[in-house]
Structure 1
């Protein structure tokens, strides 16, 4: 009888402990589990979901249209211009964190052996910014992600007013869109030769090894968070396209430089949203965005 009472007492004590623990967990849930749940909706998707605009190939047989794929973005690199033809990346809240800007500009050691590697000082004294294609602030999830945006293969010589005014304001606006529950596919690049920076007009830098582009462009596909993204693009999907002169005339209002995807494709020869249904493309690529700018 005494043994039975002892066992009963033990069970009651254990039950009280279980109840106490369960009650404590109800009041103070595990913060790490909560954070995981909050970030579960945002994903890091393929940077080429909307297509490969120039059909770039990761082969040295195509030095002017070389596909360079990184965890943080994908690009078509032009060896002879020393800049990308285009850079494509996915942007959602999953890519954004608290990592500070690294400012560690560096040559890209992943370029094929024997190719000239643009250095952090190649633009020095030129009057042009080392202009990011994929922005630093779009990749703040880790030091590695942010550092990847400072590789010189991700840069183009950009007039300071272009880079620091309309271009920067559009980048900031894109991040407000992901904060509102959207995910974006962004493709940007440049074309032509010759721009005007703070030190005047130039066609090349670094003893002719880096071409100064004449125009800088960007296309942004805006979707609510979800999956099967290319198939979710419809004729009502918002697509923002801008084309800016690479000079010091550029103002702060990026909306002034809106154009159609068709116009950019005509200027570059690219098929920018090639993975989207051709019938949908014909509508969204002809349209000029008139949505909000802030």
Structure 2
């Protein structure tokens, strides 16, 4: 009986060896394709074949996440823009509107470690002249929340990142129900995606439609956005994918997928070129699609 078991194990090992040799000759193409499409799971394959499939990806794909500044949009044209680099994010600030044009950051598993408590101390940006820097007083009595673009909860990994997340250059007038409701739901979901994927890239900011805008603040006139956008890139997935969201700056309680847009659609509305550091073919592909099934 023992001999039969040994023979059975030898046969199984020989089968795996033959599969590995075949995969080597065909470049792992079918196995890789089956893995990408979800037809097979790597945990069901022998370690030797699993390693072969994982290392058979094209160089452009495996190296995407090593590209510096992958989250940074292209320079804006004809729009007031001051770039401010922070510990946890980068902001393109509009000193005419007293709003960020966009705020961009990388969120990864290390940044999900909560080392700091939330400070709740909103500060004028020290990199702006005192006469220009918006303060929390400009929001008093306005009826609008001080809405974070890069959330404080994404910056609890470092004390300075937490402090800088409360700079007023990272803040927009936001409807209370949106800020504490559907917008927060997307922020929470982004942290789930970062945990699942290991790393994602996020850009968000206000949307100003072609109309007369409301303002708040006595000392500094802060423009009230009509809507907000957020685009998210997962460069490490196979294949890479991206998705966009647009929220009106009003009260509402809707499921997350009701706000979905492709990145291309968000670009058309905002005039911002997102993820320009991606290879052109990858950028074209990921920005045209918004398949919620890949994210849900």
* TM-score of the two chains, using structure 1 as the length reference: 0.71
Distance in 2 between residues matched to 1:119 and 1:149, nearest whole Å = 14
1:247 aligns with 2:250: yes
Distance 1:76 1:253, change over 3 A: same
Please tell me the root mean square deviation across aligned C-alpha atoms, in Å. 2.7
Provide, for residues 114-155 of structure 1, a one-character-per-residue CA deviation record: whole Å limited to 9, x for no partner: 651100121112121101010000010122211111110000
Pick one of 162, 173, 179 that aligns with 1:146: 162
1:131 aligns with 2:144: no
Distance in 1 between residues matched to 2:66 and 2:95, nearest whole Å = 27
Pick one of 118, 122, 128 that aligns with 1:105: 122
Pick one of 100, 124, 141 that aligns with 1:84: 100
Pick one of 242, 255, 258 that aligns with 1:256: 258
Pick one of 237, 240, 253 that aligns with 1:237: 240
Q: In the alignment, what sits opposite 2:84?
A: 68
1:54 aligns with 2:75: yes
Contact 2:98 2:222 in 1 (8 A): yes
1:221 aligns with 2:233: yes
Distance in 2 between residues matched to 1:104 and 1:165, nearest whole Å = 21
Q: In the alignment, what sits opposite 1:36?
A: none
Distance in 2 between residues matched to 1:82 and 1:210, nearest whole Å = 5
Contact 2:105 2:203 in 1 (8 A): yes
Deviation at 1:80, TM superposition (A): 1.0
Matched pairs, number: 230
Distance in 2 between residues matched to 1:179 and 1:142, nearest whole Å = 18
Distance 1:95 1:130, change over 3 A: same
* TM-score of the two chains, using structure 2 as the length reference: 0.70
Q: Report the structure number with the largest CA radius of gyration.
A: 1
Q: In the alignment, what sits opposite 1:155?
A: 171
Q: In the alignment, what sits opposite 1:172?
A: 188
The 4+ residue runs of structure 1 with deviation greater than 4 A are 44-47
Distance 1:147 1:51, change over 3 A: closer
Q: In the alignment, what sits opposite 2:215?
A: 204
Q: Map of 1:5-24 to 2, 5 A cutoff? A: none
SS at match of 1:109: coil
Distance in 2 between residues matched to 1:63 and 1:119, nearest whole Å = 23
Distance 1:290 1:171, change over 3 A: same
Contact 1:165 1:252 in 2 (8 A): no
SS at match of 1:291: helix
Contact 1:167 1:254 in 2 (8 A): no
Distance 1:252 1:81, change over 3 A: same
Distance 1:119 1:46, change over 3 A: farther
Question: Is there any run of 5+ residues in structure 1 with no aligned partner, and where?
Answer: 1-43, 57-61, 196-200, 225-232
1:274 aligns with 2:276: yes
